[in-house]
Structures are given as structure tokens and as C-alpha cells.
Amino acid sequence: MDVTTDAGAPWLIVGLGNPGPEYAMNRHNVGFMVVDLLAERMGGRFKRAGKAQAQVVEGRIGPPGPANRRVILAKPMSFMNLSGGPVNALRDFYKVPVAHIVAVHDELDIDYGALRLKLGGGDNGHNGLKSMTKAMGSDYHRVRCGIGRPPGRMQVADFVLKDFSSAERKELDWFVDRAADAVECLVIEGLERAQGTYNS
């Protein structure tokens, strides 16, 4: 049974994306970009996570004292639609309550550059979330990074697997930086404070 009130339990921050250099700058990989930045801030390097099909960085975020949090940053290496298996394996290994899991992912129904944070809910057709929810239920946090809808008649699958446009790339560093700030705020100060500061 998950001890959702255990303030000392670690947090598992999962960036959703697809492994491999050909996907690195895709819209679908913004979750990877955010956890890469968080790892850089912590001074950590991703490494293979034992038997789990994922790469992880272990560390701490927050000021010294009671607000300091132990975190595991993770990038599933299973491709997006199979993310749930590696995340569930990490949850079991690190003994993380589901309420201490944060999925960072792209969101079609939010304008590019906007963020929304929430706890639980549906998957809105997102295959990474669908896989996670099937593996462990839906009661985990989400940091939803808006990428907007495809233009014209472009298929959703084509849109999310394309790189950010040159115009979008001008704002991308700012966007990823703000999303990383939102993750840190969520873990250190709680969902309500993070929503009030970063939801747009």
C-alpha cells in the first residue's frame, strides 16, 4: 500500500520521451529535455538503472533542512507507449508512493510554452500516460508542457514526432527552464503553490 503522506519518501520525476538521437528534439521529447536540465542542475549524469529499462540520476533538490527532497530523475528507454513498465519497476525498487511520482510530458491541448500541473486524471490520448496509468493507476502528478495542436490537416502522430520549429526553438530554452522550475516547486512546496505560480 502506498504511504502517500510519507514526507520522507523519495520523489520519482519521469521525463517521457523516445530514446535515440533521431528523437532528441521532437515535440514528444520535451519531458526528456526537462529532466536533462534538472540533472544538470543537480550535477548528475544519467546511468542505466539496474534491471529497469530506464536511465536515472539520484540526488536532492531544495534548500538544506526540512524542504530538502530526495529525488530520482528517470528517462524510460522503452519508447513512449511502453513507459509504464520501466516506471513501475523504478517505483518498486525505490519504494516511491504513487503520489510522489511526477510525469513530465508534452500536451497537445495546451498552447505552446504554457504549463499546467495537476494530480491524477485521464491520459488525453497520450500513450506514455496511458501506459503509466495501466501499470500503476492514475494518482500521480503531471507537469503538462503545452505544444499546441498540429497545423492544418497534419496528423497528431506526425506532429509530435517532428522537431520543434525554428520559431518554437527561440523560446524552447526558456520553456524547458520554466518547466524544470515548476517540477522543483511542486516537489519542494506542493501542488497548490506550484499551480498558483506556474499554471497558465
Which residue numbers are catalytic? 28
Rounded distance between C-alpha atoms, residue 23 and residue 7, angstroms:
36
Label residues 7-23 b or e (16+ Cβ within 10 Å = b): eebbbbbbbbbbbeeeb
28, 86 Cβ separation under 8 angstroms: no
Sheet (strand 101-107) strand order: 47-48, 54-61, 69-76, 11-15, 101-107, 141-146, 115-119
Question: How many residues are recorded in the chain?
Answer: 200
DSSP assignment of 119-188: ES---TT-HHHHHHHHHH-S-SEEEEEE--PPSTT--HHHHHTSBPPHHHHHHHHHHHHHHHHHHHHHHH
